[in-house]
Amino acid sequence: MKPGFFNHLLLISHFELKRSFTTRKGLLSLVTFAVVWCVILVYPLRLVAELLLQEKDLMRYFNFFDFIGLGSIQQWHIPEFGVFWHFALLIFTMLSITVAADQTCSDRERGTLRFIVVRSSRDSVFFGRFAGVMVIQALLISATALSTLALVLYRDATLFASALTDLFVITVNLILAVLPFTAMMAALSAKVKSARQATVWAILIWTFLTGIISGFAYYLPVLSFFKFLVPGYQLSDLAQLSGWQTLQLAHVPLLQSFILLALGRWIMARQAL
């Protein structure tokens, strides 16, 4: 029996996971990420969380975090997760641009994609690669969230139940946050020749789109609606929220991803392989 779209999608995304977790290049990237994350966890994250705990009384009168624009950290009843939330929002969205840059471009340039496309549809390849990269990011996000949980439990094991809720909320939110960035890279990767080109274009498009829309919106405020099209548009608002409130903006990345994936699929269908 011939495998259908979802079967191909699973096979292709599974192959992407293999690329990240079993090949030398993939493992090297993972080890690098793990080392960097350990440093972040042990130093800035742990130290800021300790500072928040120790200076709780002092901050009633002078709030350093409000002063630097990170007052919302204190809304999280477990400070480690408050700090993690702010760090992770920035790190994972940036990381997404590099992790997801090479979804199809180098395989297309090498000709490898031809071996795959002759056995599956372009849609399966496009969405399969996207799903694979999303699962890899979800695993990285989960691993970092779990390491933060371990840090919390090391300090106070009684916080387990409430920490578990924070862990879940943050993990879901971060996955949603990287979704449009991954979709944008999927669309770019379907068009450009290399991962580096995809990254450069992502930065250029993101910067100019934000700048142009903001510029026009200054003179004609109704145009600020178009900011909605920019991936990560909601991140600054999202950083101010805590707990379950963070899911209030979930519709933004979902809609952005839908639009970007539709665009990417259209490009992929017309691209010469």
Partner 1 sequence: MRSSIIQCQRLNHVYSGKAALSNVNFELDAGEPIGLVGPNGAGKTTLLSILSGFLRPTSGTVRLFGHPPGAAQLIGKISALPQDARLDPGFTLIEQLVFYARLQGLTKQQAILEANRVLQEVSLKEAVHEKPLVLSHGMAKRVAIAQALIGKPALILLDEPTAGLDPVNVRTVRAIIAEQSSEATFIISSHNLAELDRLCRQILLLENGMMQTEKISINEQQAATRFITLQMGPSPVQEVITKFKGIEGVLQVTNPQKNEFIVEYDPCLQPHMDQQLMRCINTHHWQYRQLSHGKTLEEKLFFKD
Q: Contact positions toward partner 1, by CB under 8 A?
A: 1-4, 8, 11-12, 15, 18-19, 23-26, 107, 110-112, 114-122, 270, 272-273
- Per DSSP, the residues of 109-160 read HHTHHHHHHTTS-HHHHHHHHHHHHHHHHHHHHHHHHHHHHHHHHHH-GGGH
Between 98 and 106, CB nearer to partner 1? 106
Between 15 and 225, CB nearer to partner 1? 15
Minimum distance from CB of 273 to partner 1 (Å)? 4
Query: Distance (Å, rounded) from C-alpha 147 to C-alpha 31?
Result: 15
Ramachandran region, residue 220 (left: φ > 0; alpha: ψ -120 to 50; beta: rest): beta
Minimum distance from CB of 94 to partner 1 (Å)? 24
Decide if 151 contacts 44 (C-beta within 8 A).
no
Minimum distance from CB of 61 to partner 1 (Å)? 57
Between 15 and 160, CB nearer to partner 1? 15
Decide if 13 contacts 129 (C-beta within 8 A).
yes
For residue 75, how many C-alpha atoms fall within 13 Å in the half-sphere facing its CB?
15
Instruction: Determine phi and psi for 50, rounding to 5 degrees.
Output: -65, -40
Minimum distance from CB of 32 to partner 1 (Å)? 17
Between 13 and 256, CB nearer to partner 1? 13
Between 27 and 150, CB nearer to partner 1? 27
Minimum distance from CB of 141 to partner 1 (Å)? 24
Minimum distance from CB of 125 to partner 1 (Å)? 10
Residues 6+ apart with CB under 8 A from 231: 180, 181, 183, 184, 206, 253, 256, 260
Query: Distance (Å, rounded) from C-alpha 166 to C-alpha 173?
Result: 10
Query: Distance (Å, rounded) from C-alpha 116 to C-alpha 111?
Result: 9
CA dist 127 to 58, 79, 120, 231, 265, Å?
A: 51, 37, 12, 19, 8
Minimum distance from CB of 109 to partner 1 (Å)? 10
- Per DSSP, the residues of 172-210 read HHHHHHHHHHHHHHHHHHTTSSSHHHHHHHHHHHHHHHH
The SS3 of residue 69 is coil
Between 118 and 222, CB nearer to partner 1? 118
Minimum distance from CB of 21 to partner 1 (Å)? 12
